[in-house]
């Protein structure tokens, strides 16, 4: 079921849904004009990628210009691929958003009576909203750096912000080309970041649900029988009414745990191609941006003159370097939190009152333990685990390609 503008306001993904709606990905109305808008955004991305390919072909052996074009083209291609995947699998994203709302609601009753649990959910939603807003503002700052830079650093030279039209000398439709490049880069970058923030928000909320479940499982104790019956009667053994209550609470925890695991399985299926796309392009973008920012600003030892006079391009790449690393880090950090909180459920099960409980309670607890001890790992492309180790390996891969480009530049 699709969302409307009003129903999206009641979703835990409200900010992410409306952000994607703004940039043409998530329709909140049944209108052919919005479908045309989505097609126009993707067409701008295709046009930008074609411009980059032509520019690389016409620039010849100019490695400095090539790396600058590649940094933009890889970023645009990443947003284009992720946008196409989102449009293709829109019904799955609609269903996932609805199921996440149901998942949060399933434990809401327990959270209304416990301020600690309520704070966990509130803090997770605030953290997710802050990350999404911070990424949106960061992209706005990138636009301020990249788009007007040719007009500031090269006044009167008719340079374009991202890709130079070497085949026409930037003379044909200069103003239109300038606007199209700015629009395409801005839209596709926001689509890419919007998809990342959507998935990261989901993982943050799932980790919060697992944390709430962990506290509920650890709280399965007989303290209430102590206060209601007194210590003397409690030592003789809790009555069946308390055993039944404890067993029912444990069954609710098991049911919520199974719901979370089923949701994570669906999330895994939807997130796989998006995460893999981002990981590949992040490595490539980080490599070429770092190469542009270092090799073309090295200082000659005899004359102390920089090898490159285009300091605007260098500044652009230095300012852009946190983008690919930040996108990968968000995925790895959020997925690691999900894995850690899932592992904590099994630890919490050992802390409950299983020694004095009934046989049925112990049997159900064994089932919970067996499933919770199985590590919950999110992957990219069904083959690459997403965790802190993955972030380090991707950084190492970027540096390896960067070193290879450096060797090619020397020879």
1-48: per-residue pLDDT in tens?
Answer: 578 888 888 899 999 999 999 999 999 988 889 999 999 999 999 998
Contact 214, 345 (CB under 8 A): yes
Structural domain boundaries enclosing 290:
5-410
Give me the pLDDT at residue 305, please: 37
Give me the pLDDT at residue 308, please: 47
- DSSP letter for 277, please: H
Give me the pLDDT at residue 157, please: 81
Give me the pLDDT at residue 47, please: 92
Residue with tokens 């904590």: 344
Here the tokens at position 52 are 């980059």
Give me the pLDDT at residue 299, please: 42
Give me the pLDDT at residue 331, please: 93
Residue 17 host element (H or E): helix 14-22
How big is the chain by its Cα radius of gyration, in Å?
Answer: 26
Ranges of residues in the chain with a pLDDT under 50 are: 225-236, 298-309
* Ramachandran bin of 130, using left for φ above 0, alpha for ψ from -120 to 50, beta for the remaining angles: alpha
Give me the pLDDT at residue 232, please: 45
Largest CA distance in the chain: 94
286-320: per-residue pLDDT in tens?
Answer: 887 777 767 655 444 333 333 444 566 666 677 77
Residue with tokens 């007194």: 230
Residue 367 CA to residue 344 CA, distance in Å, equals 15
Residue 97 CA to residue 187 CA, distance in Å, equals 23
- 112 alpha carbon, distance to own chain's centre: 29
Give me the pLDDT at residue 250, please: 86
Selection from 313, 86, 343 nearest residue 210 by Cα: 343
Sign of the torsion angle spanned by Cα atoms 187, 192, 195, 201: negative
Give me the pLDDT at residue 246, please: 83
Selection from 265, 282, 251, 262 nearest residue 364 by Cα: 251
Residues 6 or more apart whose CB falls under 8 angstroms from that of 30 comprise 2
Exposure string for 289-326, b = 16+ CB within 10 A, e = fewer:
bbbbbebbbeeeeeeeeeeeebebbbbbbbbbbebbbe
Contact 51, 184 (CB under 8 A): no
Residue 333 CA to residue 203 CA, distance in Å, equals 10
Give me the pLDDT at residue 203, please: 96
Give me the pLDDT at residue 310, please: 57
Q: 10 Å Cβ neighbour count for 333?
A: 17
Here the tokens at position 30 are 């049944």
Task: Please report, to the nearest 10 degrees, the dihedral formed by the alpha carbons of residues 410, 315, 388, 95 taken in order.
Answer: -120
Contact 203, 266 (CB under 8 A): no
Q: Locate all alpha helices (DSSP H) within 240-379, ordered by sequence.
A: 240-294, 311-320, 322-351, 359-372
Residue 13 CA to residue 142 CA, distance in Å, equals 25
Count: domains in the chain: 1
Give me the pLDDT at residue 271, please: 92
Note the pTM of the prediction, 2 decimals: 0.88
């Amino acid at each position: 079921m699709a969302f409307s503008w009003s129903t999206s306001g009641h979703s835990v993904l409200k900010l992410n849904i409306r952000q994607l709606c703004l940039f043409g990905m998530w329709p909140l109305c049944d209108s052919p004009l919005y479908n045309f808008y989505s097609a126009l955004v993707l067409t701008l991305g295709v046009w930008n990628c074609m411009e980059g390919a032509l520019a690389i072909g016409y620039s010849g052996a100019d490695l400095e210009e090539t790396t600058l074009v590649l940094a933009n083209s890889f970023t645009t291609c990443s947003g284009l691929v992720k946008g196409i995947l989102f449009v293709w699998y829109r019904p799955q994203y609609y269903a996932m958003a609805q199921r996440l709302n149901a998942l949060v609601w399933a434990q809401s009753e327990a959270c209304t009576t416990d301020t600690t649990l309520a704070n966990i959910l509130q803090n997770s939603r605030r953290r997710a909203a802050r990350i999404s807003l911070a990424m949106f503002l960061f992209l706005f700052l990138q636009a301020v750096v990249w788009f007007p830079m040719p007009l500031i650093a090269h006044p009167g030279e008719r340079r374009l912000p991202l890709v130079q039209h070497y085949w026409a000398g930037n003379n044909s439709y200069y103003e239109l080309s300038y606007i199209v490049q700015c629009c395409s880069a801005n839209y596709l970058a926001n689509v890419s970041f919007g998809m990342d923030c959507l998935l990261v928000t989901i993982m943050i909320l799932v980790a919060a649900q697992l944390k709430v479940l962990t506290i509920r499982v650890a709280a399965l104790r007989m303290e209430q029988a102590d206060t209601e019956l007194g210590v003397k009667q409690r030592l003789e053994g809790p009555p069946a009414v308390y055993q039944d209550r404890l067993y029912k609470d444990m069954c609710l925890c098991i049911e919520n745990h199974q719901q979370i695991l089923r949701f994570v399985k669906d999330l895994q299926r939807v997130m796989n191609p998006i995460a893999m796309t981002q990981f590949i392009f992040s490595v490539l973008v980080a490599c070429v941006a770092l190469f542009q920012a270092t090799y073309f600003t090295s200082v000659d030892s005899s004359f102390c003159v920089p090898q490159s006079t285009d300091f605007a391009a260098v500044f652009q790449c230095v300012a852009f370097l946190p983008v690919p690393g930040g996108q990968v880090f968000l995925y790895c950090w959020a997925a690691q939190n999900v894995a850690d909180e899932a592992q904590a459920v099994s630890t919490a099960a050992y802390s409950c009152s299983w020694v004095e409980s009934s046989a049925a309670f112990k049997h159900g607890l064994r089932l919970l333990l067996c499933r919770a001890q199985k590590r919950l790992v999110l992957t990219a492309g069904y083959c690459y685990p997403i965790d802190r180790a993955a972030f380090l390996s991707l950084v190492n891969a970027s540096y390896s390609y960067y070193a290879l480009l450096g060797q090619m530049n020397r020879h």
